[in-house]
Structure 1
Amino acid sequence: MQIDQIETFLDLLDTGSFNRTADRLNVTQSTISGRVKALEKALGERLFERSRSGTQPTTAALRFETHARVLRRAWADAQADVKPYGAAVMLRIGIQHDLLDNHAGDWLTALRSALPECGFYVDGDYSRQMCRDLEAGALDLGVVFTPRPSPDLYFESMGEIPYRMISTQAQTLAEVKATDYILPNYAPAFAQTHATLLPGLSEGTVSSGQAAAVRGLLIALQGTTYLPSEMAESLIADGTAHPVARAPTIAQPVFVAMHLRNRHRAGYRRMARVLQNRLTP
């Protein structure tokens, strides 16, 4: 039994698709099938049933799930013990996509200053996947919009990111047309606040969950939308768009996330404080 078989098994439980798991793990579908067959042979039980409707776990798979998660955690702990936090460690930091452009450089500079003995690999991702990677030990720290309930994860508030409504057409909120509105869907909390404040604009024909994509749609299609304040101000400054009067600002909560076992470790506490102190109010 190998750790990649465990990772594949757990990912298949989540996706219910050999194709999607192959894409997410960056391997071929035949590799996924081979790992599952090897695991089934080691356990002596069939784990998945495949049909036109998808891939369904067997009773044996559901019983094995808890053990698989324990094995994955044990492997992550073993890796941490063999290569402990300290000199020559490359730390992997995940950052919510919308925060990369305006915050990654500043945050990385501060992290390197606080932890000069460490190297850093920074990547953009979505909250759901970062939480999975933190559970698996593939990520050391995450900056997320949406905490995922898990007994293995620990979250602390970093503050909030303001989003502003801007437009290439409407000058005031009353002038905004639903037909010209690009619906932003950055996170569940954002969507809920948006629906409460702007019920008439919460069903758009064009929508995206990534700020860079929303910005591109605004420029290409013309209309109205919400963007992170720094991105919005840049478009206002260069004359591409203008602020929409009387439109509410929507605040998106931001959290620093880590594995529960790391919450009291000095290095992780230092990284969390650095990120919390550098988030622009």
Structure 2
Amino acid sequence: MDLDVLRTFVEIVEAGSFKRAAERLNVTQSTVSMRVKSLEEQLGRVLFQRSRAGLSLTPAGLQLQRHAPTLLQLWQRARQEIALPAHFQATLSIGGLFSLWDRLLLRWLPWMRQAAPAVALRAEVGTSDILMHDVLAGRLDIVVLYSPQSRAGLVIEQLLEERLVMVETPGAAELPGGYVFIDWGPEFLAAHSRAFPDRPTPPITVSLGALGLAYILENGGSGYFPLRVVRPYLSDSRLRLIDEAPRFGRPAYVVYPAGRTEDWFATALAGLRQLAAEASEE
């Protein structure tokens, strides 16, 4: 089987349409259609059906959806292992959000090198969408992120939980519209809306926590941030903890393919769990 047609199938399922899949693959929509037709001919089954509601998978398509990620992952692992120098047993590719590299994954790299010196490591930083896409396609073996999307063939396991607390600069209460909303993801947004149902739309919304923190330190204001991040600013009184404000959890997860049985893979996961437990106690 041509793996390009299988990758195209996975992209269509992820993107929800032939057009968006073509854009993501950087090919024409007719190429996508031809690949799907080729795949359907090889399998002897129709994989997609169109309706007014949009594109959906047939029963055969749903069955292939369960197996396609595993096939791509096996091929990717085979390519990596064949190209390995003789002194390495295997290669492991891990990806994570930048903020989780800072807290967890930078500690994991030397831990894993010591625990499994025969395993070559490849480390990447990416957005949540890219990380999920790459672990599903087999380009990454393990990803660590917030708010992962449930996908067939993937295991999602909580590693740790950030504590988000509201802080303010001295005199922030006197600033009109001084609250800065930090977009910590859909789970935080839902919890925040329940806790503050009558709060007006904030004048500033920021998608990156570091940017929001830099803004209020420079201009004054308040917002929600991980306690571990603002602790130094609380110590030197540049920020004040608002004790009466509700606190929120922000869980971080490890995502990896189901069915991995290699000893070194189990070692990698054990290291992440151990270091995450230590980080949670800080």
TM-score for both structures, normalised by structure 2: 0.74
Partner of 1:148: 149
Per-residue CA deviations over 1:159-185 (Å, capped at 9, x if unaligned) read 2122232223556xxx49783222223
8 Å CA contact retained: 1:21, 1:32: no
Partner of 2:110: 109
In structure 2, the CA distance between the partners of 1:169 and 1:271, relative to structure 1 (3 Å rule), is: same
| Aligned-partner SS, 2:73 | helix
1:208-247 alignment runs, 5 A limit: 208-219=206-217, 222-236=220-234, 241-247=239-245
CA distance in 2: counterparts of 1:220 and 1:33, whole angstroms:
48
Per-residue CA deviations over 1:39-81 (Å, capped at 9, x if unaligned) read 14524789798xxx9x953x7x646633553344223234445
The structural deviation recorded for 1:151 is 3.9
Partner of 1:278: 275
CA distance in 2: counterparts of 1:133 and 1:103, whole angstroms:
20
CA distance in 1: counterparts of 2:228 and 2:48, whole angstroms:
49
CA distance in 2: counterparts of 1:150 and 1:219, whole angstroms:
40
The structural deviation recorded for 1:18 is 6.6
CA distance in 2: counterparts of 1:207 and 1:234, whole angstroms:
24
CA distance in 2: counterparts of 1:76 and 1:220, whole angstroms:
46
Q: CA RMSD in A?
A: 3.8
The structural deviation recorded for 1:154 is 1.5
In structure 2, the CA distance between the partners of 1:255 and 1:71, relative to structure 1 (3 Å rule), is: closer
Per-residue CA deviations over 1:133-163 (Å, capped at 9, x if unaligned) read 3232222112232243334122333221222
Q: Paired residue for 1:181, among 172, 175, 179? A: 179
8 Å CA contact retained: 2:47, 2:61: no
Q: Paired residue for 1:261, among 259, 263, 266? A: 259
CA distance in 1: counterparts of 2:5 and 2:21, whole angstroms:
12
In structure 2, the CA distance between the partners of 1:182 and 1:74, relative to structure 1 (3 Å rule), is: same
Structure 2 gap segments, 5+ residues each = none
CA distance in 1: counterparts of 2:61 and 2:220, whole angstroms:
49
8 Å CA contact retained: 2:166, 2:224: yes
Identity %: 19
1:76 aligned onto 2:73: yes
In structure 2, the CA distance between the partners of 1:104 and 1:239, relative to structure 1 (3 Å rule), is: farther
Counterpart amino acid of residue 161 in structure 2: E
| Aligned-partner SS, 1:123 | strand
1:33 aligned onto 2:34: no
Structure 1 gap segments, 5+ residues each = none
TM-score for both structures, normalised by structure 1: 0.74
8 Å CA contact retained: 2:10, 2:69: no
Partner of 1:4: 4
Counterpart amino acid of residue 212 in structure 1: A
Per-residue CA deviations over 1:188-234 (Å, capped at 9, x if unaligned) read 33333333434444843432343234334435664211122232234
Alignment length (residue pairs)? 267
Per-residue CA deviations over 1:210-264 (Å, capped at 9, x if unaligned) read 32343344356642111222322344467654433433432212222211112x4
